[in-house]
Amino acid sequence: MVLESIHSPADVKALADGQLPQLCQELREFLVNSLSRTGGHLASNLGTVELTVAIHRVFDTERDRLVFDVGHQCYVHKILTGRGDQFSTLRQLDGLSGFPKPRESVHDAFIAGHASNSVSVALGMARARTLGGKDYCVLALIGDGALTGGLAYEGLNNAGASGEPLIVILNDNGMSINPNVGAIPSHLARLRSKPAYYHFKKWYRSLFGPRPSRNPLYRFNHRVKTSLKKTLWPGSTLFEDMGFTYLGPIDGHDLSRLCDMLSWAKELHCPVLLHVNTIKGKGVPFAQRNPDMYHGVGPFDPETGRLRGEGGETFSSVFGKTMADCARADPRVCAITAAMADGTGLSGFAKAFPKRFFDVGIAEGHGVSMAAGMASQGLLPVFAVYSTFLQRGYDMLIHDVALEGLHVVLGVDRAGLVGADGETHHGCFDALFLSELPGFTVLCPANFAELRRMLRSALFERSGPVAVRYPRGGEGAFREDTSDRPVACLREGRHATLLSYGVPVNRTLEAAALLEKEGIEVRVLKLNQIAPLDLEILGDSLEKTDILLVLEDCFGAGCVGQRIAAILAKAGRAPKRLLLKNLGGTFAPEGSVSQLEARFGLDAAGIAGAVREALMHEQ
């Protein structure tokens, strides 16, 4: 076993060339076996095995800075940098993160999770290096999917013109999570079909010996050739036009070619874009056949790839079906996704209404603005987007949607704690930032029936911007549809009032049941609408007990509880004791939702404990 001897990148460098194919084979086996137990991002990592090995052969990630885009493809890097033995804890509470984390290892240059920022971050590092008089290399590893995000172009535009030595490795597999969309993939496909250009460049370079970029004649010729080519041959690549030296496209599974090209890119000392073609899911038939399905998976059978324990209705699937029903009823209804058709439950809609379905790529800001344009012309656009990625579209929500009060509907998926993806992915801000926007209505279903009703109401009964926010996964024990009221009383009690919204209502009811056994009677209130929120909506429902406890799986500053406290204080109607239980000021780590709820005291035991404590203070 070659992999057993690898504990650090130095061990990778020490291997003979002939051992590398074996290492790659063992890495793939390791990924399949390990992820079959824990789940994780399988297909993207299988596709970047050779590329990651080659990076570690040529660069020193302790000194050089390797910036991953999204970072879901960092597993092989983690294995080669001494973290293989922690893979049984991948994406679990206090375990190994599924994304790069500088806190975890010196080899992880930067945090990642959200797409398209790697070139900007890498340029910042390159500038710091140059200003500091240092000479380490800076690399950004970005996929063709991430290249659909506008931020990537802001980075490329600036980096190309900067002249800063920096290497952007474009991992082009033709896939985002689903097949990639838009004009850029077509541009890349055209480049892919012209390997002759690369072969010519390689031959020309070989004329100048083993280290051509040290040869002044080569450097001079390179500059003349680049400017001549730009003037005389307009068919250059987008990247060359932006100031990059473009290398490739090369086969991303050919190790010796990868090492050769990475060394060349390193020698060039300028902004370089290395175009690498890879196959997502490479080497594992079931993943290679269905790379979208094995992009991110739960546990599966390592032989057949059959997923274990998946299936069943989720908030996303109910959302998708309701959207299709609404589209059937009204031809103005359109659906938008930012590269998350499967994740947001819209695949069925896409098949049934291809003309009214728009995948904009990883471009959440654009998705919001496009929805605003559609709404301004009388359509009924619904942008289905994960809470965490909607953060990318905040200015567009303010400027393009809220200012004109346009009737854009947001399906805010993965609101609240999401589990294994961890701190970059929890949907813990939308309840705060959407509620702050003038004219926005924010609805919070706690079960499927409420989601169906609230989505219909958002589309057909309300005006202005409306967000319907719902969590990852399925519904809990609470199934009653209370969506006809802004505030619903689920249970009466005289000792304290518990207020929550969305699926945390389940935990609140469980806590009430626990307390009842001890003779403590709590009222349970459920907010169906967290914005707008005023005294009229809240009524006198919060004043029936001396103690009010507001429970939320979002950040503390600006949370619903704080807004309620301000409303009640202003009216001189604050309860004797008002307690807010939420995530406070911390980023929640990875872990199952129930583990995280317990950690933040938002599980039934934690809530019951908080009530007992509040009652003790009252005595």
Ligand X SMILES: Cc1ncc(C[n+]2csc(CCOP(=O)(O)OP(=O)(O)O)c2C)c(N)n1
Residues at the contact surface with ligand X, assessed by CB under 6 A? 44, 70, 72-73, 114-115, 143-146, 171, 173, 175-177, 280, 338-339, 362, 364, 389, 392
Q: Which residues contact 523 (CB under 8 A, 6 or more apart)?
A: 489, 491, 492, 493, 494, 496, 497, 498, 544, 545
* Rounded Cα distance, 581 and 495, in Å: 18
The smaller minimum CB distance to ligand X, of residues 144 and 590, is found at 144
The smaller minimum CB distance to ligand X, of residues 144 and 475, is found at 144
Q: How far is the CB of 238 from ligand X (least distance, A)?
A: 17
Tally of CB atoms within 10 A around 471: 27
Q: Kindly state the helix (H) or strand (E) to which residue 188 belongs, with its residue range.
A: helix 183-192
Q: How far is the CB of 434 from ligand X (least distance, A)?
A: 17
Residue tagged active-site, from 28, 50, 65, 364: 364
Q: For this structure, is 219 an active site residue?
A: no
The smaller minimum CB distance to ligand X, of residues 175 and 511, is found at 175
Q: For this structure, is 351 an active site residue?
A: no
Q: Kindly state the helix (H) or strand (E) to which residue 75 belongs, with its residue range.
A: helix 75-78
The smaller minimum CB distance to ligand X, of residues 40 and 493, is found at 40
The smaller minimum CB distance to ligand X, of residues 362 and 542, is found at 362
* Rounded Cα distance, 244 and 273, in Å: 6
Closest-CA residue to 445 (of 383, 490, 384, 501): 501
Q: Which residues contact 243 (CB under 8 A, 6 or more apart)?
A: 159, 160, 161, 162, 163, 271
The smaller minimum CB distance to ligand X, of residues 144 and 450, is found at 144
According to DSSP, residue 306 is labeled P
Q: Which residue has the tokens 């057949």?
A: 304
Residue tagged active-site, from 356, 392, 452, 581: 392
Instruction: Write a three-state SS string for 350-403.
Output: HHHCHHHEEECCCCHHHHHHHHHHHHHCCCEEEEEEEHHHHHHHHHHHHHHHHC
Helix (H, G, I), strand (E, B) or coil at 536: helix
* Rounded Cα distance, 280 and 290, in Å: 9
Helix (H, G, I), strand (E, B) or coil at 60: coil
Q: For this structure, is 83 an active site residue?
A: no
Residue tagged active-site, from 65, 91, 129, 280: 280
Residues noted as catalytic = 280, 364, 392
